[in-house]
Amino acid sequence: MQDTAEKPAVYSRKNPFSAKLKTALHLTGSCAEKDTWHFELDLGGSGMTFEPGDSLAIFPLNCPDLVEDVLQALGFSGDEPVTDPAGNSVPLRETLLRSNNITQPDKKFLNTIVGKAGADAADLEALLVPEKKKELADYLWGREIIDFLLAYPRAKFEPQEFVGILKKLNVRLYSIASSLKAKPEEVHLTVATVRYESFGRQRKGVCSSFLAERIDEETPLPCFISPGKGFRLPAPEEDTPIIMVGPGTGIAPFRAFVQERKATGAKGRAWLFFGEIHEDTCFFYRDEWEACLEEGILEKLTTAFSRDQDHKIYVHHRMKENASEIWQWLEEGGIFYVCGDAARMAVDVDKALHEIIAEQGGKSAEQAAEYVEQMKKDKRYRRDVY
Ligand SMILES: Cc1cc2nc3c(=O)[nH]c(=O)nc-3n(C[C@H](O)[C@H](O)[C@H](O)COP(=O)(O)OP(=O)(O)OC[C@H]3O[C@@H](n4cnc5c(N)ncnc54)[C@H](O)[C@@H]3O)c2cc1C
Ligand SMILES: NC(=O)c1ccc[n+]([C@@H]2O[C@H](COP(=O)([O-])OP(=O)(O)OC[C@H]3O[C@@H](n4cnc5c(N)ncnc54)[C@H](OP(=O)(O)O)[C@@H]3O)[C@@H](O)[C@H]2O)c1
């Protein structure tokens, strides 16, 4: 018999699905220090599937104000015809908005500036040698392409030449914050808007500001699933305990985990550590966690609000306070998950985990490191950090 069932479309970087915004909720309402959003995107009709632990890759658009600043610095109107990275003839403004990286300078861009600006860019040229890698990274921190165009006006370009030295605008990944079993044909995200001031300019992260400031229900959001390598729940019938550490936007995959476990009636015990700056304005999804505690989907919820007292309290401090119970859960075969900031949080959480194992297990530092290595081999220490 012939199989007439249509195959579901496979969406990918080359063939993204165009999702639409359904709901945007400001998670950090009246908090002046943070701007974090909950987005619900409609996947209706796509047949797109994903597992808790996967991420969504989104193609953003650049900020139109920055595009105008770049055009002005270059002396272009924006209407000049150019070939974009896909080989289409489009106005320069269009490719700068949609297709090219116009924020983060790379070596090719910097070398071109040096080549064109000559002696004016001698200081910059001195940093473009392999031995100055660290100095160059420090110099570039907080500087964007616009800064170099303004600092070196002798660097003149033809429109196509300028597009030719820019990289493609890349996707950004977001940990998926919902389960298809609980929210069919939807994908939820928890996104912190990147904004900062440097060298006299207000800066915005490309994708997080696109989502927070420049989309509505009509905006096409090209996207595809990026599988979460190994960041997976145990099977629902297993009674493996899970410990989830997800401060800030690191909470996202654990919302998907908890929704999935509720939908599948998962057996094992679950413990969530969450941290943010203030309890009253930044306790993301508080009602949902409290309902989960009542229903027994979560056995424990431990929070750390870093700026609600005169000294910082972080999730790893709370881990240390709960050391004997964490050790008990680990000895019962528990899986330890961490998601969120890689540079600071995940380092301190890793250190705390080693210390807990050493203290509670009566082990030396080397033995604790071996225990953690074994956890990794057994896929019982899983990280999704960025
Ligand atoms: C697997 C994975 C999952 C992720 N999940 C999430 C998630 O659930 N939620 C979430 O919000 N993010 C998540 N991220 C991060 C996300 O992909 C983006 O990196 C983030 O949103 C910033 O992207 P952007 O386009 O807004 O900023 P970009 O335009 O990429 O700008 C960010 C860059 O700006 C610079 N910068 C930032 N702050 C400063 C500063 N103070 N001073 C100077 N320079 C600075 C740095 O160079 C930084 O790399 C995840 C990343 C990965 C890899
Ligand atoms: N590398 C960096 O310097 C840096 C800085 C900020 C944000 N980020 C990135 O910005 C993005 C969004 O961040 P986010 O909004 O999700 O939250 P976040 O900035 O990670 O903050 C969430 C919570 O974690 C706390 N925290 C800070 N340092 C910590 C540590 N060493 N251990 C444990 N907790 C710690 C924060 O406290 P306090 O803020 O009160 O210290 C806050 O209460 C992420 O991609 C993150 O990686 C990076």
Q: Which amino acid, 297?
A: I
**Rounded distance, CA 319 to CA 312, Å?**
14
Per CATH, domain 242-385 is 3.40.50.2300: no
Any idea which residue has 């993301």 for tokens? 284
**Rounded distance, CA 247 to CA 190, Å?**
12
The reply to whether ligand 1 has any atom less than 6 angstroms from the CB of 385 is: no
Pocket test for ligand 2, best of 203, 341, 348, 350 (most atoms within 8 A of CB): 341
* pLDDT range class, residue 137, cuts 50, 70, 90: very high
* pLDDT range class, residue 8, cuts 50, 70, 90: low
Pocket test for ligand 2, best of 34, 203, 344 (most atoms within 8 A of CB): 344
**Rounded distance, CA 245 to CA 132, Å?**
37
Residue span(s) of the chain under CATH 2.40.30.10 come to 17-60+171-226
Answer positive or negative: Cα dihedral of 231, 233, 234, 239: positive
H or E stretch covering 4: none
Distance 174 CA to ligand 2 centre (A): 16
What does the buried/exposed string (b/e) look like for 172-184 if buried means 16 or more CB atoms within 10 Å of the residue's CB? bbbbbbbbbebbe
CA distances from 67 to 77, 178, 223 (A): 11, 34, 23
Q: What pLDDT is attached to residue 29?
A: 85
Residue 375 has pLDDT above 90, yes or no: yes
Helices 252-264 & 286-295, crossing angle to 10 degrees? 30
Q: What pLDDT is attached to residue 1?
A: 41
Q: What pLDDT is attached to residue 303?
A: 98
Q: Which CATH class is domain 64-165?
A: mainly alpha
* pLDDT range class, residue 76, cuts 50, 70, 90: very high
Mean pLDDT for all residues in the chain: 96
Q: What pLDDT is attached to residue 123?
A: 95
Read off the pLDDT of residues 296-317 as tens digits, 9 standing for 90 and up. 999 999 999 999 999 999 999 9
Read off the pLDDT of residues 13-24 as tens digits, 9 standing for 90 and up. 999 999 999 999
Read off the pLDDT of residues 252-279 as tens digits, 9 standing for 90 and up. 999 999 999 999 999 999 999 999 999 9
Q: What pLDDT is attached to residue 4?
A: 46
* pLDDT range class, residue 229, cuts 50, 70, 90: confident
The reply to whether ligand 1 has any atom less than 6 angstroms from the CB of 58 is: no
Residue span(s) of the chain under CATH 3.40.50.80 come to 242-385
* pLDDT range class, residue 122, cuts 50, 70, 90: very high
Distance 207 CA to ligand 1 centre (A): 8
Distance 111 CA to ligand 2 centre (A): 33
CATH fold of the domain at 17-60+171-226: Elongation Factor Tu (Ef-tu); domain 3 (2.40.30)
Residue span(s) of the chain under CATH 1.20.990.10 come to 64-165
Specify the higher pLDDT residue, 125 or 9.
125
Which residue from 247, 253, 252, 248 is spatially nearest to 231, judged by alpha carbons?
Answer: 253
- pTM (2 d.p.): 0.96
